[in-house]
Structure 1
Amino acid sequence: MSGGLTVLLTGALATVQDRGRPGHSDLGVGVSGAADRPALALANRLVGNGAGAAGIEVTAGGLVCRAEERLVVAVTGATGPVLVRRPSGSLRPAGLARPEVLAVGDELRVGVPDRGLRSYVAVRGGVDVAPVLGSRSTDLLAGLGPAPLRPGDVLPVGSDVAGPVLASDGAPVSAPDDGEVTLYAVPGPRADWFGDDALRAVFGRPWEVTSASNRVGMRLQGSELVRASRRVGAELPSEGVARGAIQVPASGQPLVFLADHPVTGGYPVVAVLRDRDVDVAAQLRPGQRIRLRAQPAPMF
């Protein structure tokens, strides 16, 4: 273990993330982990890391890190400018979704994305901060794991290597387009709390992602979802909620739970996103429009 990366700038938010800490909901602790799980997994594969290696999740760009030793890194997720600044001051473009070698003193610069919201930086060997409950992930809601990164932080690089660096000229990028995005969901456990008009609105009308969204959840704005008359004023005891659950608070505007969601909630869940669509949702930008489409519940 050694001090491999010094954080110089963080942008809006940069955190350490891995696959999360499953199995602790009985303690009131959620899974957390990377908001876009396939993007982090791809970055780790590109640099030859183990699947559980920790990397850096960058929200809306702005991360600058300096290599304190020779490192191999990869940036995936949102698309945008990625540059390497040499100690001489010269700049060179770095590839997206492909391995890049940083010499001592090189600065990796992750710019503001032009598509998608969250970028992922993997370094060969993994970011080796101290684990909490078996994970190095920052859980902003529970306050577990390392604090959000700040300028001056030094991130040790570990030895979580599973194979060679991939000889890639650029893997496919999965960040969604800026246009309207379709997400699929199944009816939720409390869909019967809403009237027919509300259910038609959930799956028939467009929704806009608001700037109040974060790692806990993506807040949507659109038609007010009105409860069925028999449920007006009713109280729902707190019950378990999952990643991808679409909860409807008193405002009638849906909240889609993401990586740092609570383990219980007291508002009705009208629908639940398909698992792979939760990762797409984590890449949606404020102001972007989505449509929810109903997917029939699986038969067992």
Structure 2
Amino acid sequence: MSALGAGLEVLAPGPLTTVQDRGRAGAFRYGVGVAGAADRAALALANRLVANPPERAGLEVLLGGLEVRAEGPLVVAVTGAPVPVTVDGRPAPHASVLVLGAGQVLQLGQAPTGLRAYVAVRGGVAVEPVLGSRSRDTLAGLGPDPLAAGDRLPVGPAPAGRPRLRTAPVAGPATGTVAVGVVPGPRHDWFTDPGVLFTGTWTVTPASDRVGLRLERPDGQPGLRRRREEELPSEGVAVGSLQVPPSGQPVLFGPDHPVTGGYPVVGVVRDADVDRLAQVRPGQSLRFRPVPAPEVPAP
């Protein structure tokens, strides 16, 4: 513990703030999912800004409202949803390198668009790892608990090198209807008309979370109807899978999805669009379009 640097004291956690990194790769054999940051690109950018290796853990902040005090000199960056950022009440830039002195308070306001902001601190949030990751898996209950006022977050030793970027211009999260590429299958043949997935729009419901986006049809448009009535044996599912329960309203699996599922998967969102879905709010609409499966290199 002597190698750890100054930490962060949590003054206010906001609606939900969790520690996240790149997730638990290789833990499926234990029946444990990957978890990790919902918007992987946003966390990676925050780590790059503070010159961290990409595997260092940061904070995933739902909507905003986080308030933390630096226990010593720290370098931080805030990315993802464009939350207003202040240091000791003074406005600070988004997606930029911020230097905090001992006792200074970093505060995130409410995001006007998008859903999740990310805070990286040089050295990384150094809570104890579980199965090789510091991520909170909200479905399995693994990893550090969501932040609460009064928590102290240790920070790891600063890596070699210094930040090379002062700020990173980034596009804001999509508003309105979001277009998403989907690879059909593997169980599209279980539906009378799997093409219904690609007609009209689907609305994200308030029941959505890190486990998945729960979707419904607006204005009574038809859902997906099964061709087969028998039960499907449980099989592995991946992040981005569109699993369809008997209601015909899909669940689009997020980072904390279950490892297996017994409902048919009509399609899988392409990896390039997964991060964008992390910033979609309840009430927004998705429009799916079919894309070909990526080519798998020959062994």
Shorter-normalised TM range: over 0.9
Contact 2:12–2:65 (CA<8 Å) still a contact in 1?
A: yes
Match of 2:191 among 189, 194, 198: 194
Question: Is 1:131 aligned with 2:129?
Answer: yes
Q: Which runs of 5+ in 1 are unaligned?
A: 86-90
How far apart are the structure 2 equivalents of 1:165 and 1:296?
39
Aligned match for 1:41, one of 5, 25, 44: 44
**Cα 1:105–1:172 shift into 2, 3 Å:** same
- Distance in 1 (CA, whole Å) between partners of 2:289 and 2:160 is 39
Distance (Å, rounded) in 2 between the aligned partners of 1:43 and 1:161: 15
2:12 corresponds to? 9
Q: How does 1:133-282 map to 2 (within 5 A)?
A: 133-159=131-157, 161-168=159-166, 170-196=167-193, 199-222=194-217, 223-229=221-227, 231=228, 233-282=229-278
| Residue 9 of structure 1: how far off its partner (Å) | 0.8
- Mapped contact 2:213–2:253 kept (Cα < 8 A): yes
Answer whether contact 1:46 1:74 (CA < 8 A) is retained: yes
Q: 2:293 aligned to 281, 288, 297, which one? A: 297
Residue 88 of structure 1 corresponds to none
Distance 1:153 1:140 in 2: 19
Partner of 1:220, secondary structure, is: strand
Code of the residue aligned with 1:176 in structure 2: it is P
Q: Scaled by the length of structure 2, what TM-score is found?
A: 0.94
The change in CA–CA distance for 1:161 and 1:282 in structure 2 (over 3 A counts) is: same
What's the CA shift string for 1:35-94, capped at 9, x where partnerless?
A: 000100000000010111000000111100011101110000001211111xxxxx2111
**CA distance 1:216–1:286, change in 2 (3 Å):** same
Q: Is the 8 A contact 1:36 1:77 kept in 2?
A: yes
Cα distance in structure 1, aligned partners of 2:81 and 2:224: 35
Give the structure with the larger strand fraction: 1
Unaligned runs of 5+ in 2: none
C-alpha RMSD over aligned residues: 1.3
Name the TM-score, length of structure 1 as normaliser: 0.93
What is the DSSP-based 3-state SS (H/G/I as helix, E as strand, rest coil) of the residue aligned with 1:277? Answer: helix
Q: Which amino acid aligns with 2:69?
A: R
1:101–1:294 CA distance, 2 compared to 1 (3 A): same
Q: 1:65, 1:224 → 2: CA distance? A: 47
State the SS of the aligned residue for 1:125: coil
CA distance 1:188–1:122, change in 2 (3 Å): same
Work out the number of aligned pairs and report it: 290
Q: Identity of counterpart residues, as a percentage? A: 59
CA deviations on 1:182-238 (whole Å, 9 max, x unpaired) are: 110100211111112xx2321121111111111110111114433344x1x310110
Aligned residues of 1:128 and 1:157 also touching (Cα < 8 A) = yes
Q: 2:140 aligns to what SS in structure 1?
A: coil
Runs of 4+ residues deviating >3 angstroms: none
CA positional deviation for 1:162: 4.8
